[in-house]
A and B are shown apart, each in its own frame.
Chain A
């Protein structure tokens, strides 16, 4: 028999000034379910909680209703009070007579009447509440980081330093990401390679990190603490175990027409190649679209000269499933292809290049060995126009969002340009300069004041190639209110930061949310910027939205700390408020499985039938399946039909 203890709180005067608390207690104490009723000034205080404990002991109540503030505030407080007296913590319910009553009702009589009603409903409800046990699920203390850019590397290093195993998964042949392609970095102008390479090497040598390059996720099953991730390693045609990274193959390979991705397509490379000199691992990969041996069974020169006999032409993709407890997504971004901007030449002007191509042109590991020469004829450009916001803040053509990093890297580019061509003149076309980071504004001012770069406020309307090989950039200077044009030797487009092409596919495999642009969505924009809405999956770096290196690194470390906190436990405690299927009532239609956002519902055998089964570790307790099931075969603990209907019915 349920025997409910009712405790009505004054909340100082917050409740008692409007609600006649004594009347509430007097009216309700005679309800047949009620075994004990009392009022107190502050139920959440220690003496208040003691009242509950005492009533459990002395009056043998076995259900509790606290009429006070919102359960969002103090439900856990009272649950603990019950538990400390040996009563199941899920046998308490709260009537919200402050936020929903005393604070929003003018008339004291109406407020008192409403309070009585609100408490009575919870008394009726609590009788239907069942004791629930927290769910414990085991924890696999290995993490996987998807994406080996700076964000992913940082996350992997921090987890590994925390003495946990981590798999660093990278789709391309080397870790490093976009940062490996940069020349110098804002706001300090330190050389990107010099600060990145040591971290790449550290990751490769760390005993707790297993780097898997040329690999992608194919399938994700399971839930926090117990994910099963299927990884596919692409065919690379080189045995990584045998290869010594000498690079003789890429020298001797006769097919030298493959666009060099690392150099942003500015030059070509061999069909077998190590992606860049500092690559980790420094192992070449054969591009099967270009390799003559693979395509037409000719050549095979690399296999003949390889001293380690590492070439395997009959390589094939391999799949493997790994068990991990947590996932960090750090898949980064790509630079937008500016081809849609036909007014800037589409891509038909060789000297109208993107920001990343400029990085490669000034880099000592780039196609020109670090001498700034324009792609068409190798002339040193004496006038360069840098165009900001190409594809950003331009909803009509590309994206509404701001790419965030281009103001800064354009200022950097103008400085790098002046360092390479001291007598050259740089122009920047901009909408406005956004430099909110630490020392960022000072950095931009330095470009303008010390390097004499001319900033022209306005959007570039058109770029036209002139007879003399120059490019006429038609723009405006809105500060003086007139149209201007500049005849430039080269134009650099700060092309927008975009999500990876396969970002949505990966999100759907992982069951995480993404925004209209394809960037991954955090669980809360302010308070949970690292978490996704799926427990155990975290975000780091530019896959969540445009980001510079410092922020990507911060987020990498933050995601790692989330993972380490998770791994500090041996088991996972999950709320027991989850759904279960009654197999005797289930018809096996599986409609429920279509509405479950967490793929928590599977099919199982039940005698001769197939029925639905809900995986407790996966279910998040939303109740969508309950409302869908026509046969009423599903019950959601804590929000069962009985509990909810009782509230509806007993409302007078």
Chain B
């Protein structure tokens, strides 16, 4: 895996909290790495593990899923479903040789613009350090 390239991140954000949090990062001018790409979903409960695998197959270096804080999901319980599904997805990733830390699950509220920018920066740093650490199936091979 090339170390010189900046890690590419897919951020799947729920529409009600986390997407609004990312907007607030913008409104507040909190810079974060330019390699983050945001996809909006109605709720983190819409996130299907296949979306995450697809992202790795497409060559992203990390996938982040963020929903509303526990108890705050606009649809009541979507974020709890997401948490469970992502725990399973992470184990599967490990099984195919993708470091589970390449998958980050978090809660970001509409008021947490700063947190969004920080999470993006920290995740980028983490992915930089992870480069080339996977022992078994390399993510690159997975993509082919």
Contacts and interface: CB of A to CB of B under 8 A. Distances in A.
B95 interface: no
Contacts of A626: 46, 48
Contact of B37 (A597, A636, A651): A651
A554 interface: no
Interface stretch (B27-35, B99-107, B126-134, B136-144): B27-35
Contact of B31 (A104, A622, A639): A104
A105 B76 contact: no
A533 B38 contact: no
B27 A623 contact: no
Given A105-B31, A111-B34, A513-B76, A639 B26 contact: no
B26 A624 contact: no
Contacts of B51: 644-645, 648
Contact of B19 (A72, A104, A651): A72
B78 A624 contact: yes
Contacts of A513: 76
A622 B46 contact: yes
A105 B37 CA distance: 13
Interface in B1-60: 10, 19-20, 22-23, 25-27, 29-32, 34, 37-43, 45-48, 51, 54-55, 58, 60
Nearest to B8: A651
B54 A649 contact: yes
Contact of A100 (B26, B58, B78): B26
A639 B41 contact: yes
A651 B30 contact: no
Given A99-B23, A623-B41, A106 B31 contact: yes
Contacts of B55: 648
B114 to A, nearest CB: 12
Given A99-B23, A622-B42, A647-B39, A627 B48 contact: yes
B23 A70 contact: yes
Given A597-B76, A627-B48, A622 B43 contact: yes
Given A623-B43, A624-B43, A624-B78, A651 B10 contact: yes
Given A533-B74, A649-B54, A103 B45 contact: no
A104 B25 contact: yes
Contacts of B75: 533, 597-598, 620, 622, 624
Interface residues of A, number: 43
Nearest to A645: B54
Interface string A203-224: 0000000000000000000000
A98 B26 contact: yes
Given A533-B74, A622-B78, A627 B30 contact: no
Contacts of A103: 26-27, 29
B31, B54, B75 interface centre (most CB from chain A within 10 Å): B75
A72 B42 contact: no
A104 B30 contact: yes
A624 B27 contact: no
A104 B81 contact: no
A12 to B, nearest CB: 15
Query: Which of B30, B46, B48 counts the most chain A CB atoms within 10 A?
Result: B46
Contact of B46 (A118, A597, A624, A651): A624
Contact of A628 (B19, B27, B42, B81): B81
Contacts of A174: none
Interface string B67-82: 0000000111110010
Contacts of A627: 45-48, 81, 85
For the side of the interface on B, what is the size category? 35 or more
A645 B46 CA distance: 13
Interface string A609-628: 00000000000111110111
A590 interface: no
A117 B37 contact: yes
A114 B34 contact: yes
Contacts of A645: 51, 54
B93 interface: no
B108 interface: no
B117 interface: yes
A96 B39 CA distance: 11
B41 A644 contact: yes
Interface in A99-157: 99-100, 103-107, 110-111, 113-114, 117-118, 121
A577 interface: yes
A208 B43 CA distance: 41
A626 B22 CA distance: 25
A623 B41 CA distance: 9
A114 B6 CA distance: 13
Nearest to A110: B34
B140 to A, nearest CB: 17
The CB with the most chain A CB atoms within 10 A, among B26, B31, B37, is that of B26
Interface string A521-543: 00000000000010000000000
Contacts of B46: 622-624, 626-627, 636, 639
A99 B54 contact: no
A25 interface: no
Contacts of A99: 22-23, 25-27
Given A623-B46, A648-B51, A651-B60, 7 more contacts: A70-B26, A104-B32, A107-B34, A577-B42, A620-B75, A622-B75, A624-B43
Interface of A: 70-72, 96, 98-100, 103-107, 110-111, 113-114, 117-118, 121, 513, 533, 577, 595, 597-598, 620-624, 626-628, 636, 638-639, 641, 644-645, 647-649, 651
Interface of B: 10, 19-20, 22-23, 25-27, 29-32, 34, 37-43, 45-48, 51, 54-55, 58, 60, 74-78, 81, 85, 117
12 contacts: A72-B20, A99-B22, A100-B22, A104-B30, A107-B34, A110-B34, A121-B37, A595-B45, A597-B75, A597-B76, A624-B78, A651-B60
For the complex of A and B, list the 8 residue pairs with the smallest distance between their C-beta atoms, beginning with the closest: A99-B26, A623-B46, A622-B75, A624-B45, A597-B76, A627-B48, A103-B26, A110-B34
